[in-house]
Structure 1
Amino acid sequence: MSKQTAISKKTKKIIPEEIKETTFLLTDDNVMEFFLEYDKKHKENKVRITTDFGEIDIKLFEATKFHRSNFIYLTKKKYFNNTQFYRVINNYIIQGGNSDDQQTLNKRKKIGRYLLPNDHKKGFKHDRGMVSMPSSAVANPYKMASPFEFFIVQQHGGAHNLDGDYAVFGKVVKGMEVVDKIAAVPTDKGDWPQTNIYIKKIEIIE
């Protein structure tokens, strides 16, 4: 057997596994089973958001298993890196996880198209510093969540008008002063910051 033949056979053996790994996509049909299993093996519950204004540490709640697991999964996939806080309303919320960059859309396509199962009825309120997830913009009677985006309640006294409609799945444990700085930036009529506010990275710290 020539050296060239041996290399070709080895290459053929490796490629199917690589294809299998890169073509897995989350869908509405497999998301519940996937994250129930993911929750058993991935127990990380604290992340750090690095922004242009500083760092924000967030603790994720074990009780909201679908949302916690999803956030950890996307963090490990480096989805949030170089996305933005794209909706900012002072004394209300800052919302991130999206961008007008084509790379963000490409990353979403590689992860899948899905909504998260309902994690609303866990007793968590939209107090100041809580982290929540917006519902999908599509017709959505079960209030399933759009998995790629999140918002932090910045309003003093909380934003309890949101209770019951959106799933609180974590809280800021350090860096609310950074949230306040972001919330105070000038925005356009659509609440998009006049200067882009990048999420440089989100990383797991515990």
Structure 2
Amino acid sequence: MMLKNSFITILLLIILSACNGNKEKKEGSKASANEVAIDSAALEQARLDSIAKEEEAFKLTDENAIEFFFEYSKKHKEDKVKVTTQYGSFIIDLFEETPYHRANFIYLTKKGYFNGTYFHRVVKDFIIQGGNSDEWEIANRRKEIGSYLLPPDTKKGFKHHRGVVSMPSSEVDNPHKFASPYEFFIVCSNPGSYHLDGDFTAFGRVVEGMDVVDKINNLPTDAGEWPLENASMTVEIIE
């Protein structure tokens, strides 16, 4: 009887030992799977952080702007923006036929560049020009995005009719009329300002809210054509 009891005790100890071993294996496997999941998540976060740093460090220059906007225009097909001011809002349709200038405007809009800039030049019955400001914040935004000019794209047949959106040339020594990409102007004259054709790139047109453009065009200005009341804007992409 004692031998029988001893045998049963030994058998139970063997079974318990096997169960504990299986449990430890399962817990070990579970811990290993969790470690793999944590490592994968960490690697993915590191990858995203690396991409974010690269995008943050990227700056546009005269050397890379055309190539950048060529690729950007293929991936970003948006062609309408809404400009909101304290005088109301208006909608601009951007021309597909001027891809670099369209892509530039979309890129700057997505960067939030135009928000808080002004219509800083108003010439009655001629144009309103926007995209600049006398605030350091706007200058810093330009610095972060980059320093570059865009070549003119004037042979697509677009004329400077009333409501057309065009890009002014840079104020630097610029015999080829390279455009200042951070600014734009809207033709307010009726039926248009056709003496601008061939020198400036028409890349869009106001399709809704031209009455708001006219309100801004009628603002009183100082001797430098800057409105006495700052006409600030926000710009957003719409479907």
TM-score normalized with structure 1 length:
0.92
1:174 aligned to which of 187, 208, 214: 208
Alignment of 1:25-174 (within 5 A): 25-174=59-208
SS of 2:70 mapped into structure 1: helix
**Consecutive unaligned residues in structure 1, runs of 5 or more:** 1-5
SS of 1:100 mapped into structure 2: coil
Identity %: 58
Residue 50 of structure 1: CA displacement?
0.3
Number of residue pairs the alignment of both structures matches: 198
Aligned structure 1 segments of 4 or more residues deviating by more than 3 angstroms? 10-18
Residue 150 of structure 1: CA displacement?
0.2
1:204 aligned partner: 237
Q: Take 1:61 and 1:55, find their aligned partners in 2: how far apart are those partners? A: 20
Q: Take 2:67 and 2:128, find their aligned partners in 1: how far apart are those partners? A: 31
Higher helix share: 2
**Paired amino acid for 2:187:** V
User: Which structure is richer in relative contact order (CA contacts within 8 A, separation 6 or more)?
Assistant: 1
SS of 1:66 mapped into structure 2: helix
Residue 164 of structure 1: CA displacement?
0.9
Residue 141 of structure 1: CA displacement?
2.2
1:186 aligns with 2:204: no
Deviations 1:120-170 (A, max 9, x none): 111111110000000111122221110000000001121111111110000
Q: Take 2:217 and 2:88, find their aligned partners in 1: how far apart are those partners? A: 13
1:3 aligned partner: none
RMSD over aligned CA atoms reads 1.7
Residue 92 of structure 1: CA displacement?
0.3
Q: Take 1:17 and 1:161, find their aligned partners in 2: how far apart are those partners? A: 46
**Paired amino acid for 1:180:** D
Q: Take 1:197 and 1:51, find their aligned partners in 2: how far apart are those partners? A: 7
- Asked if structure 1 preserves the Cα contact closer than 8 Å seen for 2:164 and 2:187, the reply is yes
Q: Take 2:231 and 2:147, find their aligned partners in 1: how far apart are those partners? A: 25
**Consecutive unaligned residues in structure 2, runs of 5 or more:** 1-37
TM-score normalized with structure 2 length:
0.79
Higher strand share: 1
Deviations 1:2-55 (A, max 9, x none): xxxx9xxx6994654332121100000001110110111100001000011000
2:15 aligned partner: none
Q: Take 2:100 and 2:55, find their aligned partners in 1: how far apart are those partners? A: 22
- Asked if structure 1 preserves the Cα contact closer than 8 Å seen for 2:152 and 2:199, the reply is no
Q: Take 1:58 and 1:31, find their aligned partners in 2: how far apart are those partners? A: 23
